[in-house]
Amino acid sequence: MTEFAPEESLVEPETLRRAIWFANQLAMKNVPLPLLRRDPPSTQYSSLIESIEYLLLASHRKRKLILPELSAFNNRSLGVFSDYSGEGSGHYFVYSVLVCGLNMRASFEARMTEIRPRFGLGVQEIAYKKLNVGQVLRALPGYLAAADGLPGFLCTIAVDKRIGSVFGNEQDVRRRLVAALGDSGLGERKPRVAEKVLRVVHLAAYLTVLLGHNGQNVFWMTDNDEICPTTAHHMQLLETFDRVLSIIYQRPGSQFGTIGGATPFKERSVEMNDLLSLPDLVAGTLGDYLSKRDVLSPDKVLVKQGTDKIMLWLGQPGIGLKKFCCFLRKGAGDSIERGTIEFSAVNPPAGIFIPIYG
C-alpha cells in the first residue's frame, strides 16, 4: 500500500478512484531484483551497492517496497539528481540520489510556480543550508507536498566515516582506485576524491539501471563540488558514469539512449534546481540526525528547524515519489553493518491509504 494525503479532509469517490488509478500506473509491478549478476561467480561489487541491493530485496520480500514505474505515460527520459553531505563535521558521508521521470514533472513544476511567488522565493534555492531563511522555511511544507506527486525514487545512504573504502579492505585500495581512473583516461584524482567519485557514480548507475528501461535517455545533474569542480572534471565524471552503467550494471539486451548531464547552471534553472533540492535537503537532514543519534539518546536529539518536517515526510510514501533511507556502519574488525532507516510520527497526520495491486 502507499499513502496519499490530500489537502481536503473529504475526498469525493471519483477523486479517490482517479488517485488509485494514477498510483497504480506509477507503481512498478515487476521489480527487477536481484539486479546484480553473479556470472562469473567471482564477480565483485562494492559493499555499498551490495548492501543497498540486500536491503531493497529484504524490503521487497516483506512486500513493503514500492518502486516507481518510470516508463508510464510514455516517459522516454530519466532525470538523475544527486547531492551529498558530510565533508565537514559529523560521523557520516551521506549520498542522496533522486531518479525521476523527466517528462513526468509538469504537475510538480506547476505547483512550484504557485508556491514560489506565494512565499516570495523568487529564484532562491530551497536548500538545507537555507532552512534558517524565513521564506524557505515557510515554503517547505508546500514544496514537500508537491514533490510527493513527482514520479520517482529518492534513495539516500549514510556511510560511516570510519569505513575507509567500500571497494575493498586492502590498505592500498584507494591508491588502486586512483590508478584505475587515471589509466582509463578518466582523470587524475586524489585518493579521497577518487573514492567519492566512484561511490557516487556506482550509486547513480545502479539506481538508473534498476529504475530505467530500454531506450530511455538519461540526464544526470550533480552538485558541483570536489568531484567535478571544472568542466573537464564534469565530462570525465559523465564518462565514468556511462562506462559503469553499461559495463557493470546494464541488463543484457537493454541499452539506454543518450546520456548527458549538468551541474547547477550558471544561468539559474529554477526547475532543475527544485529537483536537485530534494536530495540536498535529505542528505543534510540525515547526516545531522544520525551524527547526533550516535552520541545522544533519542529524546535529547535537537534537530535543525525544518528538518522535523523533512523526517516526517521521509516516513510517508507519496502517490508518485517513493523514499528509501539506509546506512552502512563499521562493525567489529573489517565487518560492515547495514540497515534501513525508517521515520514515523508519534501522531501521524490523517491520510487515505491507496491500494497498489500486484
Alpha-carbon distance 115 to 305, whole Å?
20
Q: What is the reported pLDDT for 179?
A: 96
Question: Using the 8-state DSSP alphabet, how is residue 27 labeled?
Answer: B
Instruction: Note the pLDDT of residue 3.
Output: 45
0.85 exceeded by the pTM? yes
Residue 278, all three cell numbers:
530534494
Check if the beta carbon of residue 237 is closer than 8 Å to that of residue 193.
no
202: DSSP letter: H
**Distance (Å, whole) CA 270 – CA 53:** 33
Distance CA 38, CA 327 (A): 24
- Listed in sequence order, the DSSP H helices in 64-155 are 106-118, 134-147
Structural domains in the chain, CATH included, are 2-354 (3.30.420.10)
* pLDDT tens sequence for the chain (358 residues): 444 444 444 568 888 888 889 889 999 999 999 999 877 665 679 999 999 999 999 999 999 999 999 999 999 999 999 999 998 888 999 999 999 999 999 999 999 999 999 999 999 999 999 999 999 999 999 999 999 999 999 999 999 999 999 999 888 999 999 999 999 999 999 999 999 999 999 999 999 999 999 999 999 999 878 998 888 999 999 999 999 999 999 998 899 999 999 877 555 689 999 999 999 999 999 999 998 888 777 666 767 889 999 999 999 889 999 999 999 999 998 889 999 999 887 776 666 778 887 7
C-alpha 104/C-alpha 46 separation (Å) is 32
What Å distances lie between residue 218 and 115, 147, 205, 317, 345, CA to CA? Answer: 28, 20, 10, 24, 36
Residues in the chain: 358
